[in-house]
Homo-oligomer: A and B are copies of this chain.
Amino acid sequence: MQNSDEEVTFIQQFKTRSLSLPAGAVIIDEGLPSEDLYTLYSGWAFRFKTLSDGRRQILNFLLPGDFVGLQEKMADVSPHGVGAVTAVSLCRFSRIGLWELYRNHPGLGYDVTWIAANQKDVIDENLLSVGRRNATERVASLLVQLYKRVKVIGLAKGSTIDFPINQQHIADSLGLSLVHTNKTLRRLMKMGFHEISGGKLTMCNPAALERVADYYAAEERVRPLI
Protein backbone atom coordinates (compact mmCIF):
# COMPACT_ATOMS: atom_id res chain seq x y z
CA MET A 1 0.00 0.00 0.00
CA GLN A 2 2.73 2.47 -0.89
CA ASN A 3 1.51 5.74 -2.31
CA SER A 4 3.20 6.90 -5.49
CA ASP A 5 4.99 10.26 -5.66
CA GLU A 6 2.31 11.56 -7.92
CA GLU A 7 -0.35 10.56 -5.43
CA VAL A 8 1.44 12.24 -2.58
CA THR A 9 1.66 15.45 -4.57
CA PHE A 10 -2.01 15.22 -5.36
CA ILE A 11 -2.92 14.72 -1.73
CA GLN A 12 -1.03 17.83 -0.79
CA GLN A 13 -2.93 20.11 -3.15
CA PHE A 14 -6.14 18.29 -2.37
CA LYS A 15 -6.05 19.37 1.22
CA THR A 16 -7.50 22.81 1.01
CA ARG A 17 -6.54 23.88 4.49
CA SER A 18 -6.22 22.67 8.01
CA LEU A 19 -8.34 23.53 10.98
CA SER A 20 -7.87 23.53 14.73
CA LEU A 21 -10.57 23.24 17.36
CA PRO A 22 -10.44 23.33 21.16
CA ALA A 23 -11.29 20.44 23.46
CA GLY A 24 -15.00 19.85 23.73
CA ALA A 25 -15.83 21.50 20.41
CA VAL A 26 -18.55 20.15 18.15
CA ILE A 27 -16.93 19.20 14.86
CA ILE A 28 -20.10 18.10 13.10
CA ASP A 29 -23.61 18.73 14.35
CA GLU A 30 -26.15 15.96 14.44
CA GLY A 31 -28.90 16.48 11.89
CA LEU A 32 -27.25 19.34 10.08
CA PRO A 33 -26.05 19.28 6.49
CA SER A 34 -22.32 18.95 6.40
CA GLU A 35 -20.17 20.05 3.55
CA ASP A 36 -16.82 18.85 4.61
CA LEU A 37 -14.65 15.82 4.89
CA TYR A 38 -11.70 15.82 7.25
CA THR A 39 -8.80 13.73 8.31
CA LEU A 40 -7.98 13.87 11.99
CA TYR A 41 -4.35 14.89 12.30
CA SER A 42 -3.92 15.11 16.03
CA GLY A 43 -6.08 14.70 19.11
CA TRP A 44 -9.01 12.45 20.00
CA ALA A 45 -12.61 12.79 18.85
CA PHE A 46 -15.76 10.68 18.87
CA ARG A 47 -18.85 10.05 16.76
CA PHE A 48 -22.17 9.94 18.60
CA LYS A 49 -25.93 9.80 18.30
CA THR A 50 -28.50 11.03 20.78
CA LEU A 51 -32.13 10.23 21.48
CA SER A 52 -34.62 13.03 21.89
CA ASP A 53 -34.53 12.84 25.70
CA GLY A 54 -30.77 13.27 25.77
CA ARG A 55 -29.51 9.72 26.12
CA ARG A 56 -26.24 9.61 24.21
CA GLN A 57 -24.39 6.76 22.56
CA ILE A 58 -20.80 7.14 21.48
CA LEU A 59 -20.39 5.08 18.32
CA ASN A 60 -16.61 5.04 18.20
CA PHE A 61 -13.56 7.03 19.10
CA LEU A 62 -11.51 8.69 16.38
CA LEU A 63 -7.73 8.72 16.58
CA PRO A 64 -5.17 10.47 14.41
CA GLY A 65 -5.44 9.18 10.85
CA ASP A 66 -9.16 8.49 10.98
CA PHE A 67 -11.65 10.11 8.66
CA VAL A 68 -14.25 12.49 9.95
CA GLY A 69 -17.37 12.94 7.90
CA LEU A 70 -17.09 10.34 5.17
CA GLN A 71 -20.62 9.15 5.75
CA GLU A 72 -21.88 12.68 5.98
CA LYS A 73 -20.42 13.35 2.57
CA MET A 74 -22.56 10.62 1.19
CA ALA A 75 -25.81 11.77 2.79
CA ASP A 76 -27.53 15.11 2.73
CA VAL A 77 -27.74 15.43 6.45
CA SER A 78 -25.38 14.11 9.03
CA PRO A 79 -26.93 11.14 10.80
CA HIS A 80 -24.61 11.57 13.76
CA GLY A 81 -22.53 14.19 15.49
CA VAL A 82 -18.79 14.37 15.96
CA GLY A 83 -17.24 15.91 19.04
CA ALA A 84 -13.67 16.71 20.03
CA VAL A 85 -12.32 15.14 23.20
CA THR A 86 -9.04 17.05 23.23
CA ALA A 87 -7.98 19.97 21.12
CA VAL A 88 -7.84 18.61 17.58
CA SER A 89 -6.33 19.54 14.26
CA LEU A 90 -8.09 18.51 11.10
CA CYS A 91 -7.31 18.61 7.41
CA ARG A 92 -10.22 19.65 5.31
CA PHE A 93 -11.00 18.15 1.92
CA SER A 94 -13.35 20.10 -0.29
CA ARG A 95 -16.61 18.63 -1.53
CA ILE A 96 -15.62 18.52 -5.18
CA GLY A 97 -12.34 17.05 -4.10
CA LEU A 98 -13.55 13.65 -3.05
CA TRP A 99 -15.13 12.94 -6.38
CA GLU A 100 -12.00 14.07 -8.17
CA LEU A 101 -9.95 11.81 -5.99
CA TYR A 102 -11.93 8.80 -7.11
CA ARG A 103 -11.75 9.84 -10.75
CA ASN A 104 -8.12 10.82 -11.02
CA HIS A 105 -6.53 8.63 -8.38
CA PRO A 106 -8.48 5.42 -8.06
CA GLY A 107 -5.67 3.99 -5.93
CA LEU A 108 -6.46 6.59 -3.33
CA GLY A 109 -10.16 5.92 -3.72
CA TYR A 110 -9.40 2.33 -2.91
CA ASP A 111 -7.52 3.45 0.19
CA VAL A 112 -10.49 5.53 1.31
CA THR A 113 -12.71 2.49 1.13
CA TRP A 114 -10.08 0.51 2.97
CA ILE A 115 -9.94 2.98 5.85
CA ALA A 116 -13.73 3.15 6.00
CA ALA A 117 -13.93 -0.64 6.18
CA ASN A 118 -11.44 -0.60 9.02
CA GLN A 119 -13.51 1.84 10.99
CA LYS A 120 -16.47 -0.44 10.48
CA ASP A 121 -14.53 -3.22 12.16
CA VAL A 122 -14.22 -1.04 15.22
CA ILE A 123 -17.93 -0.32 15.29
CA ASP A 124 -18.73 -4.00 14.86
CA GLU A 125 -16.58 -4.79 17.86
CA ASN A 126 -18.36 -2.13 19.90
CA LEU A 127 -21.73 -3.51 18.91
CA LEU A 128 -20.64 -6.96 20.02
CA SER A 129 -19.55 -5.49 23.36
CA VAL A 130 -22.66 -3.50 24.04
CA GLY A 131 -24.96 -6.28 22.90
CA ARG A 132 -23.38 -9.33 24.46
CA ARG A 133 -20.62 -8.55 26.96
CA ASN A 134 -21.23 -7.79 30.63
CA ALA A 135 -19.89 -4.65 32.24
CA THR A 136 -16.49 -6.05 33.18
CA GLU A 137 -15.92 -7.52 29.75
CA ARG A 138 -17.00 -4.29 28.08
CA VAL A 139 -14.62 -2.10 30.02
CA ALA A 140 -11.76 -4.52 29.50
CA SER A 141 -12.33 -4.77 25.77
CA LEU A 142 -12.52 -1.01 25.35
CA LEU A 143 -9.21 -0.54 27.14
CA VAL A 144 -7.57 -3.22 25.05
CA GLN A 145 -8.99 -1.88 21.83
CA LEU A 146 -7.88 1.71 22.44
CA TYR A 147 -4.47 0.59 23.58
CA LYS A 148 -3.97 -1.45 20.42
CA ARG A 149 -5.20 1.31 18.16
CA VAL A 150 -2.90 3.88 19.72
CA LYS A 151 0.01 1.48 19.53
CA VAL A 152 -0.47 0.86 15.83
CA ILE A 153 -0.25 4.55 15.02
CA GLY A 154 2.99 4.73 16.96
CA LEU A 155 1.84 6.88 19.85
CA ALA A 156 2.38 4.40 22.68
CA LYS A 157 5.26 4.83 25.09
CA GLY A 158 5.91 1.31 26.27
CA SER A 159 2.70 0.12 27.85
CA THR A 160 1.46 3.66 28.50
CA ILE A 161 -0.69 5.81 26.25
CA ASP A 162 -2.34 9.21 26.44
CA PHE A 163 -5.87 8.69 27.65
CA PRO A 164 -7.82 11.92 27.45
CA ILE A 165 -11.36 10.54 27.77
CA ASN A 166 -13.24 10.64 31.06
CA GLN A 167 -15.55 8.09 32.65
CA GLN A 168 -18.61 9.71 31.11
CA HIS A 169 -17.16 9.09 27.65
CA ILE A 170 -16.49 5.48 28.55
CA ALA A 171 -19.98 4.99 29.94
CA ASP A 172 -21.58 6.55 26.85
CA SER A 173 -19.56 4.38 24.55
CA LEU A 174 -20.27 1.13 26.41
CA GLY A 175 -23.96 1.68 27.05
CA LEU A 176 -23.42 1.69 30.81
CA SER A 177 -24.29 4.19 33.51
CA LEU A 178 -21.59 6.49 34.83
CA VAL A 179 -21.78 4.98 38.30
CA HIS A 180 -21.45 1.41 37.18
CA THR A 181 -18.62 2.32 34.83
CA ASN A 182 -16.74 3.81 37.73
CA LYS A 183 -17.22 0.77 39.93
CA THR A 184 -16.11 -1.56 37.16
CA LEU A 185 -13.01 0.45 36.29
CA ARG A 186 -12.10 0.60 39.93
CA ARG A 187 -12.44 -3.13 40.36
CA LEU A 188 -10.20 -3.87 37.38
CA MET A 189 -7.69 -1.36 38.66
CA LYS A 190 -7.61 -2.94 42.12
CA MET A 191 -7.04 -6.30 40.49
CA GLY A 192 -3.91 -4.86 38.94
CA PHE A 193 -4.91 -4.92 35.29
CA HIS A 194 -4.39 -1.27 34.53
CA GLU A 195 -3.82 2.21 35.91
CA ILE A 196 -5.38 5.48 34.84
CA SER A 197 -4.17 8.79 36.18
CA GLY A 198 -3.19 12.17 34.94
CA GLY A 199 -4.67 11.50 31.52
CA LYS A 200 -2.49 8.43 30.95
CA LEU A 201 -3.45 4.80 30.74
CA THR A 202 -0.95 2.10 31.64
CA MET A 203 -1.69 -1.49 30.74
CA CYS A 204 -0.18 -3.62 33.47
CA ASN A 205 -1.25 -6.89 31.94
CA PRO A 206 -2.66 -6.58 28.43
CA ALA A 207 -2.85 -10.31 27.81
CA ALA A 208 -4.90 -10.91 30.95
CA LEU A 209 -7.23 -8.08 30.06
CA GLU A 210 -7.76 -9.57 26.63
CA ARG A 211 -8.74 -12.80 28.28
CA VAL A 212 -11.16 -11.01 30.58
CA ALA A 213 -12.70 -9.27 27.58
CA ASP A 214 -12.82 -12.40 25.46
CA TYR A 215 -11.22 -10.13 22.90
CA TYR A 216 -9.39 -11.97 20.22
CA ALA A 217 -9.42 -9.49 17.37
CA ALA A 218 -6.82 -9.80 14.69
CA GLU A 219 -3.87 -7.51 15.03
CA GLU A 220 -4.63 -3.97 14.08
CA ARG A 221 -3.15 -3.41 10.66
CA VAL A 222 -1.15 -0.46 9.47
CA ARG A 223 -3.33 1.80 7.43
CA PRO A 224 -2.61 3.63 4.19
CA LEU A 225 -1.75 7.27 4.71
CA ILE A 226 -3.99 9.95 3.34
Contacts and interface: CB of A to CB of B under 8 A. Distances in A.
A132 B51 contact: yes
Interface stretch (A123-131, A143-151, A161-169, A190-198): A123-131
Contacts of A174: 131
Contacts of A123: 120, 123-124, 127
A51 B214 contact: yes
Contacts of A104: 106
A24 interface: no
Stoichiometry, as copies per complex, reads 2
Nearest to A173: B131
| Most interface-central of A52, A102, A119, A133 (chain B CB within 10 A) | A102
Interface of A: 47, 49, 51-53, 55-57, 59, 70-71, 73-77, 79-80, 99, 102-104, 106-107, 109-110, 112-114, 116-121, 123-128, 130-133, 174-175, 214, 216-218, 221
Contact of A127 (B130, B133, B216): B130
A18 B47 CA distance: 37
B103 A107 contact: yes
A77 B107 CA distance: 22
Contacts of A128: 49, 51, 57, 59
Contacts of A216: 52
B79 A127 contact: no
